[in-house]
Amino acid sequence: MKTFPTSAVWCFGILFISASLITTGSSEVQVVGPADPVVALAGDDIILPCSLEPNVSAEDMAVEWTGLYLRTRNVHLYLDGRDSNEDQFPSYRGRTSMFHEELKNGNVSLKLTRVTLSDAGSYRCFIPTLTSQVKETTVQLFVGAVSQPVISIDGTKGWGVVLKCDSGGWFPEPGMEWLDSSGTILPADGPPEKHRDSEDLYALRQHVTVNKTDTNMFTCRVNQTEINHLKETEFHVPDDVFPKSHVGLIIGLSILLAVVVLAASAGVYKWRKYTEEQRERLEEQENECRKLLEEQVKGFKLIRDMKRDAKFVNRNKVHLSQNVTMVTIAFYLICSERYSEIHVARTRQDQMRLFYEALDSGGKKVKSDFYRILLDLEPDLVIDLGKAEETIQSLSTSPGGQQETQTPSQKSERIEGMEMKSLPGPGRKSVPEMKPLLAAGPQNDDLDEMERGGRVTTDNNSML
């Protein structure tokens, strides 16, 4: 039984503590403001948030909104269930209000219309009737000002165009930058020039020199990070604003020059080639002419020699018939059609007659051939006859004249200066010695051999 009162005391104690705790909790109503500052642009309507937590009705409470400057300004006062702004700071007149229908939810936020830059600062939301420790909160208001940048062309520099970006009416001080169409930041001509206008707003100006691009689109961007605002203006630079590049002209001129030079050199080359060809053709023609002339001369010489040889044979007919050996005749006759006829003739006289007939019928050519065989086989005889003729001539005409014309060709020159032999030459083989040779006919081995040699000789002669 004794334990009961003790437990009862304990029970009551716990209850009391609980109750007092709950009572204390309900009385601990706090004023709560926003975690972040309120950011606005000049001219905006804004709400400065403030509420009770837990959300008890504030309808019967007093709410004081004040501005915290060097001196505290009365911004808004709610008292005795109504707005009571008799002592309101003039600049807020007619611009403040509270949400009366929200008061029962503990929403004591202040609405401020048409904020100005001078509204920026700290605002205190104060509920003096609260019994708790936290009867007030502070709300930060940032008021900024922005404006659209304006871009203009400010001349040219080098091959580029200088652009100017102007943007005034900013608050707080913004940043400015230039970008190309791909969003790459361009190097500006310098840091932005800044100045503040009469309303303490910032005005910025920055130049950039841009080069020609695919799009020729450029952007000026002004931003203010504190008020989280950014303004951009795009600008298109017309192509013809860029200084006329003479590169194209220079390249064109260079190409033209190159073409002209090429054409000229090609012309010179062709002309040279042409004259070269012409010269070569002329030379060729000249050579041909010379060759032709030489051949003609040779032909003339041949004919002249032939005539001379034939004359020699004619002149010395009698002497030759007595002194020419049968070997020589044989050599000649082998190529003659009349060989067999002469061969069968019985007497030497007949043979010689027939032989001379053959010679005569053959004309100069045959006589000349014979002369050459004679020169080959019996040079001595020819020389002797030639010298005899000379002697006769020198006797009949003036001494030492016309010696060259009568001198027989090369072979005789070889033996020139030899002692002149008597006419007819002594030691010459007599005709009868040759007779058996001729009579033996072509079957004879010696004659066969001679025939072969003879043919070569005559062939050579006829080829001359």
Ligand X SMILES: *[C@@H]1O[C@H](CO)[C@@H](O)[C@H](O)[C@H]1NC(C)=O
Q: Which residue is nearest to ligand X (CB)?
A: 175
Interface residue with ligand X, options 223, 314, 322, 394 (CB under 6 A): 223
426-455 burial, b at 16+ Cβ within 10 Å, e below that, comes to: eebeebeebeebbeeeeeeeebeebbeebe
What is each CA distance from 317 to 12, 68, 352, in whole angstroms? Answer: 194, 166, 10
Rounded distance, CA 360 to CA 349, Å?
A: 16
With vertex at residue 259, the alpha carbon angle to CA 257 and CA 261, rounded to the nearest 5 degrees, is 70
Interface residue with ligand X, options 150, 186, 217, 423 (CB under 6 A): 186
Minimum separation from the CB atom of position 194 to ligand X (A) = 12
The two structure tokens encoding residue 303? 């004919």
Minimum separation from the CB atom of position 172 to ligand X (A) = 12
φ and ψ at residue 112, rounded to 5 degrees? -125, 125
Minimum separation from the CB atom of position 91 to ligand X (A) = 23
Q: Which is nearer to ligand X, 221 or 367 (CB)?
A: 221
Residue 225 is a binding residue for ligand X (CB under 6 A): yes
Amino acid at 5: P
The answer to whether 207 touches 192, Cβ cutoff 8 Å, is: no
Enumerate residues 343-372 that contact ligand X by CB under 6 A: none
Q: Which is nearer to ligand X, 105 or 314 (CB)?
A: 105
The stretch among 46-54, 124-132, 134-142, 287-295 that binds ligand X (CB under 6 A) is: 46-54
The binding track of 55-94 with respect to ligand X, each residue x by CB under 6 A or -, is x---------------------------------------
> What are the residues whose beta carbons fall under 8 Å from the beta carbon of 347, sequence distance 6 or more?
none
Interface residue with ligand X, options 30, 74, 97, 105 (CB under 6 A): 105
Residue 25 is a binding residue for ligand X (CB under 6 A): no
The binding track of 191-210 with respect to ligand X, each residue x by CB under 6 A or -, is -------------------x
Pairing of strands 72-79, 82-83: antiparallel
Minimum separation from the CB atom of position 177 to ligand X (A) = 6
Alpha-helical segments (H) within 316-325: 317-323
User: With CB under 6 A, what is the number of residues at the site for ligand X?
Assistant: 21
Q: Which is nearer to ligand X, 175 or 299 (CB)?
A: 175
Exposed / middle / buried, residue 18 (Cβ in 10 Å: 0-12, 13-18, 19+): exposed
Residues that bind ligand X (CB under 6 A): 47, 49, 51, 55, 99, 102, 105-107, 109, 159-160, 175, 186-187, 210-211, 221, 223, 225, 230
